[in-house]
Amino acid sequence: MTTLTHGEARGGAPKGSAPKTEQPAAASAAKARSAAQRRKVWIWVGRIALAVVIIGGWQLCTNVKPDGKHPLVDPFFFGMPTQIWDALVALFSNTEDASFGSIWENIWVTGQEAILGFLLGTCVGIVLGLLLGSNRYLSSVVGPYIRIVNSIPRIILGSIFIVAFGLGTFPKVLLAAVLVFFVVFFNAFQGVREVDQNLVANVRVLGASPFQVAIHVTIPSAMTWIIASLHTAFGFAIIGALVAEVLGAQQGLGLIISQAQGKFDPDTVFACMIIIAVITLLAEFLIGLLEHSLLKWRPPNKSEAQTI
Amino acid sequence: MSANHRIRPPADGGGDGGARIDIAGLTKRYLTPKGETFTAIRDVSLTVEPGQFCSIVGPTGCGKSTTLAQVSGLEKPSAGSVKVGSHLVDGITNGVSYMFQADALFPWKSVLSNVMMGPILLGTPKREATELARDWLRRVGLAGFEDRYPHQLSGGMRKRVAMAAALINNPRILLMDEPFGALDVQTKAIMQNELLKLWEELRPSVLFITHDLDEAVALSDRVVIMTSSPGSVKDVFDIDLPRPRGNVQQIRHEERFLELQGQIWESLKDEVTRAYARTAGAA
């Protein structure tokens, strides 16, 4: 940025006395700053316009009746933004009517399942990933089975878990953990494989034991990969918890969704989607903070700094 | 090599020198993925006297790095043996430090923690290790950079960190695999001078791989020429330029330097041409 403005300043002013070159430099810096600001404003204008077009278009299409009777898009099936808002308000306001507790209770139940599943899946994934990644024999033996298990649709396991462990929290946690495990496991495994062999050789020559190699080289190096996987992993944890709840539960957002489905109430389903999106974004944010503090040694991403 | 050899006191000024390296009939074969055997080095024999600075020069792919890996104990020779001091190398050799072309620094550790690694791995208490690392950073001219991360440093500065990390344990043997290969010419000259200065204080035995003949002659007591693959020792030149050498750039213009450099180039020329012809033919 600074070199750019310097260049402009030199190009703009003829080579001469110092004060003459000083002023255009300050002026062009201010110009560049205001240009950057304008760009930011326009980006926000675009973003808001896009939201208005999509939500407004949805509202319009569900309201406009070209033939006077049937709307262009039937809100009975596809909901309507204003009705979704009403459903959202209704979810948060009425507590006595819902037979399975207030919305906050249900959010807490689903969140709890997702978080526990996330933690369990992450821990097991990291441990097994590191173990198999650093042990050639183990990885050769177990490798094909992991691939097979990975290729079957694991979400189906939810049915088995519900049958085996009932309608409580545990089967939900288990399904979330299974989904999370594979994401984290493969990244941890790959992370160990990508360790800089020079670094390993270096510490081995300095007298490191295999344990020390793991502590000082393998694990920190694989951490980049593992943390990258956590963003997707939390999404999977939520999906696991929700699907298990839809399959059978006594409480949770998944239950609200499946009941709304039974009552032909798409607005409540959409309202639950919004709640889940907020939870996931919140979790993303927390994981981002964790990433930032654990990976502060990394060079700042240039493209990130310039384009956004 | 008992423990007292591993945790030697850090040299303040005068080091207690290096160990003799005896390489005898060293051969290393690898199995290629196709199932053929590939001989990287064949029957390499050479000796590095204690505290000697020995360079290995040879065409690309002649097994120079393979030779170093056998000395460090990272790999096991297919035939022949390496002796460090009176000890036959079997497993990681004690008192060895390695410096690679790509700087093997931990990107997630600060400069200070990077340099501390050596003593920490030998079980030195953390406070002592920190003191030692600070002292070494001062010696390589990086005082004040303790809390930076490697990516915040220039290539030359990273090399200084790597050098401090390699020398902090006061190694008996320093293995250097084209350590300055990726540096620009000016930085390279500065680093060579720094290396000579530190080496003269500690006097470890050095095995130094390079492609740069000038570098080899300017730094070394002995230059070993290797043949193209499979690598073996072709010629050994003793460099009788007086020590301390002083500025590496100035020594390049001395008559004796040019004479030695000419002789070594004569010996190396054929090998380089042969290696080049082979790769050109294969391509």
Is A299 an interface residue toward B (CB < 8 Å)?
Answer: yes
Report the alpha-carbon distance of residue A116 to residue A122 in Å, rounded. 10
Residue A53: pLDDT band with limits 50, 70, 90:
very high
Q: Are residues A54 and A185 in the same domain?
A: no
**Stretch A242-262: mean pLDDT, rounded?**
88
Containing structural domain, residue A129: 82-307
Residue A283: pLDDT above 70?
A: yes
Q: Do B74 and A298 touch (CB under 8 A)?
A: no
From CA A112, how far away is CA A125, in angstroms rounded? 19
Tokens standing for B214?
């000038």
Rg (CA), chain A: 27
Flag if A199 and B94 touch (Cβ within 8 Å): no
| Angle, CA B223 vertex, CA B221 and CA B228 arms, to 5° | 170
Rounded to a whole number, what is the distance in Å from the CA of B174 to chain A's nearest CA?
Answer: 11
- Asked whether residue A210 is domain-assigned, the answer is yes
DSSP structural state of residue B85 = T
On whether both A17 and A132 belong to a single domain, the answer is no
Distance between B189 CA and the closest CA of chain A, angstroms: 24
Instruction: Say yes or no to pLDDT of A151 above 60.
Output: yes
Q: At what angle do helices A219-247 and A253-262 cross, to 10 degrees?
A: 40
Residue type present at position A27: A
Those of residues 124-153 in A touching chain B at CB distance below 8 A are: none
pLDDT value at residue B102: 80
Helix (H, G, I), strand (E, B) or coil at B225: strand
- In the chain, the amino acid numbered A248 is G
A224 to chain B: nearest residue by CA?
A: B108
- Same domain? For A7 and A119 the reply is no
> For residues A248 and A242, what is the distance between their CA atoms, to the nearest angstrom?
10
Name the residue facing A205 among B97, B110, B151 (closest C-beta). B97
To 10 degrees, what angle do helices A266-294 and A103-134 make? 40
Contacts of residues A138-143 at CB distance under 8 Å and 24 or more positions apart, as own/partner, are A139/A189
Same-domain pairing of A121 and A176: yes
**Inter-helix orientation angle A253-262/A103-134, to 10°:** 120
Among B94, B104, B121, whose Cβ lies nearest the Cβ of A199?
Answer: B104
Write out the two tokens for B248: 């590496």
Mean pLDDT of A128-147: 87
Instruction: Please give the DSSP secondary-structure letter assigned to residue B196.
Output: H
Measure CB to CB from residue A297 to each of B104, B107, B175 and give the nearest one: B107
Closest-CA residue to B193 (of B223, B168, B156, B158): B156
Sheet holding B79-84, edge to edge: B37-48, B21-31, B79-84, B87-88
ipTM score for this prediction: 0.79
Smallest Cα distance from A218 to chain B, Å: 11
Residue A19 sits in the same domain as residue A90 = no
Assigned domain for A77 exists: no
pLDDT digits (tens, 9 = 90+) for A87-128: 888 888 876 555 667 888 889 999 999 999 999 999 999 999
Arithmetic mean of pLDDT, A152-164:
87
Residue B11 has pLDDT above 60, yes or no: no
Number of structural domains (chain A) is 2
SS3 track for B10-27: CCCCCCCCCCCEEEEEEE
Q: Check whether the bond before A81 is cis (ω within 30° of 0).
A: no
- Residues of chain B contacting residue A203, judged by C-beta atoms under 8 Å apart: 117, 121
DSSP B100-141: -SS----TTS-HHHHHHHHHHHTT--HHHHHHHHHHHHHHTT
Q: Are B173 and B50 in contact (CB under 8 A)?
A: no
- Do the Cβ atoms of A206 and B149 come within 8 Å? no
pLDDT in tens, B187-228: 888 889 989 989 988 899 999 999 888 889 989 999 999 888
> Same domain, yes or no, for A274 and A197?
yes
More confident residue, A78 or B133: B133
Largest Cα separation within chain A, whole Å, is 85
Whether A195 and A290 map to the same domain: the answer is: yes
Do the domain assignments include residue A74?
A: no
pLDDT value, residue B64: 86
Report yes or no: B164 and B140 within 8 Å, Cβ to Cβ. Answer: yes
Would you place residue A194 in the very low, low, confident or very high pLDDT band (cuts 50, 70, 90)?
confident
Residue type, A62: T
Average pLDDT over residues B248-266: 88
Amino acid A181 reads F
Q: For A201-230, write each residue's pLDDT tens digit.
A: 888 888 888 888 888 899 988 888 898 889
- Please check whether residue A211 lies inside any domain of the structure: yes
Determine, yes or no, domain membership for A23: yes
pLDDT band of residue B282 (cuts 50, 70, 90) is: low
Is A206's Cβ below 8 Å from some Cβ in B? Answer: yes
- Residue B152's contacts (CB-CB under 8 Å, 6 or more residues apart) are A299
Do A23 and A126 lie in one domain? The reply is no
Sequence-distant (≥ 6) Cβ neighbours of residue B6 within 8 angstroms? A207, B94, B95, B122
Structure confidence at residue A15 as a pLDDT band (50, 70, 90): very low
Residue A85 half-sphere exposure toward CB, CA atoms < 13 A: 4
pLDDT score recorded for residue A95 = 60
Taking the C-alpha atoms of residue B170 and residue B161, their distance in angstroms, rounded to an integer, is 15
Does the pLDDT of residue A305 top 60, yes or no?
no
What values do phi and psi take at B18, rounded to 5? Answer: -105, -175
Amino acid code (one letter) for A30: A
Quick check: B170 and B11 in contact, CB under 8 A?
Answer: yes
Task: Output the average pLDDT for chain A.
Answer: 83
Look at B220 and A26; give whichever has higher pLDDT. Answer: B220
Mean pLDDT throughout B138-145? Answer: 89
CB contact under 8 A, A201 and B118: no
Task: State whether B98 and A201 contact (CB < 8 Å).
Answer: yes
What proportion of chain B, given as a percentage, has pLDDT over 70? Answer: 93
| Tokens standing for residue B266 | 């004569």
Mark which residues 23-82 of A lie under 8 Å from B by CB: none
Indicate whether A126 and A162 sit together in one domain: yes
User: Six-digit token pair at B203?
Assistant: 């006097």
Q: Across the interface, which of B108, B110, B118 has its CB nearest the CB of A206?
A: B118
Residue B231 φ then ψ, to 5°: -70, 140
A203 and B151 within 8 Å at the Cβ level: the answer is no
Task: Look at A206 and B108 and tell me if their CB atoms are within 8 Å.
Answer: no
Indicate the pLDDT class of residue A166, thresholds 50, 70 and 90: confident
C-alpha of B68 from chain center: 8
Q: Least CA distance to B100: which residue of chain A?
A: A198
Structural domain contains residue A255: yes
Q: What is the dihedral of CA B243, B249, B251, B256, to 10 degrees?
A: 130
Residues A139, A21: one domain? no
pLDDT at A74 over 90: no
For residue A108, being part of any structural domain is answered with yes
- Rounded to the nearest angstrom, the gap between the alpha carbon of residue B109 and the centroid of all alpha carbons in its chain is 24
Q: Count of A–B CB contacts within 8 Å? A: 59
> Among A199, A212, A295, whose Cβ lies nearest the Cβ of B106?
A199
CATH of the domain at A266: 1.10.3720.10
Q: Which domains does chain B have, with CATH numbers?
A: 14-95+171-282 (3.40.50.300)
Indicate the pLDDT class of residue B274, thresholds 50, 70 and 90.
confident
Contacts of A217 in chain B (CB under 8 A): 106
Rounded to an integer, what distance in angstroms lies between the CA atom of residue B142 and that of residue B161?
8
pLDDT in tens, B145-204: 989 999 888 888 998 999 999 999 889 999 999 888 888 888 888 889 989 989 988 899
Is A290 inside a domain boundary? yes
Question: A155 and A57: one domain?
Answer: no
| Nearest-by-Cβ selection for A207 from B6, B102, B152 | B6
Query: Does A153 share its domain with A199?
Result: yes
